[in-house]
Amino acid sequence: MQDEPTIKVTVRTPQSKDDAEDFLVEEILMPPLEKWQELDNSRPPAPASKENANQGHAAPLRAVERPIAKLSFLKPVVTEVPLEFPFEHPDLGAVHIVAVQRLTVGQVGDILDARQNGAPDLFDIYAAMTGLSAEVLRGLEAGDGERVTGACFDFLPQLLRPAQSG
């Protein structure tokens, strides 16, 4: 049997939201070329038919009922971000400040359970933190959006942050 050519790629993973030069560099070994099509996950999977419904495909996620205690925290769990570009919204009225709150473990679990295929979108998480919809957050002026999402990012649990190097 002939040896397969070894393909190595260098991957740079950001480690900081503030420092563009802070990244982890790793060299990874790619699978053999004949496996690439089989391993391609760039397209959504085909919908399950009755014939292949039970052939190793996971069932869709659904929310789980779990009791969550309402705790009185001894430190503030909310920070307010004043907007440089306040806006009017038909349901919210005039918005000058966005209040960002830390989430409980149960709230994070509920968000993750509600996502299709378990893939969280940070704006869904930020929506739970701010009380504004992900759609409204995406519509903020870029500078305001950066400050609001930066405050949200600071409150993200470690589970949802990029891996730290070293």
Q: 53-62 pLDDT, tens per residue?
A: 444 444 444 5
95 and 24 assigned to the same domain = no
Pick 64 or 31 by higher pLDDT: 31
Domain assignment present for 48:
no
Give the containing element (helix H, strand E) for 96. strand 93-101
CA distance linking residue 56 with residue 35, whole number of Å: 19
Question: What pTM was estimated for this model as a whole?
Answer: 0.46
146 and 82 assigned to the same domain = yes
Domain assignment present for 21:
yes
82 and 154 assigned to the same domain = yes
Domain enclosing residue 12, as ranges: 8-39
When divided into structural domains, the chain yields a total of: 2
**Residue 164 DSSP label:** P
Give the containing element (helix H, strand E) for 150. helix 142-155
Lowest mean pLDDT among 33-37, 40-44, 51-55, 161-165: 51-55
Pick 23 or 49 by higher pLDDT: 23
Would you say residue 3 has pLDDT above 50? yes
87 and 134 assigned to the same domain = yes
CA distance linking residue 19 with residue 14, whole number of Å: 9
